[in-house]
Amino acid sequence: MAGNQIHWNSIAMLPPCERLCREAGIPNRDQVAKCADSLTGKAFKFYMTVVSMELKKWRLDKFFIELFNSCFPPYFRPRQWSKRLKDFE
């Protein structure tokens, strides 16, 4: 896998991880670490270099947003919205 390539399985696991944390009653302080167990590639690198150093400071919603922003370029989200809007026309 190339250094900048995104491992889609890491991104796709986020909603199930959020559900797991909620259903299992995992305390807020442990949720990010639990979800990080499944990360690979660029997502894992983000976790190790940014999040793991100050784990107590991170909450799951902030973690998901920052992980998405670190794995995708800034123009990705607006471009996806444009494609979706075209699909609905």
> What confidence tens digit (pLDDT) does each residue in 56-74 have?
899 988 998 888 888 887 7
Average pLDDT over the chain, rounded to an integer: 79
Segment 34-51, tens digit of pLDDT: 888 888 888 899 999 999
**Amino acid occupying residue 19:** R
More confident of the two residues 63 and 79: 63
Domain boundaries, given as residue ranges, for the chain: 8-88
Q: Helices (DSSP H) in the chain: which residue ranges? A: 8-12, 14-24, 28-36, 41-46, 60-71, 76-88
Contacts of 28 by beta carbon, 8 Å cutoff, 6+ apart: 59, 60
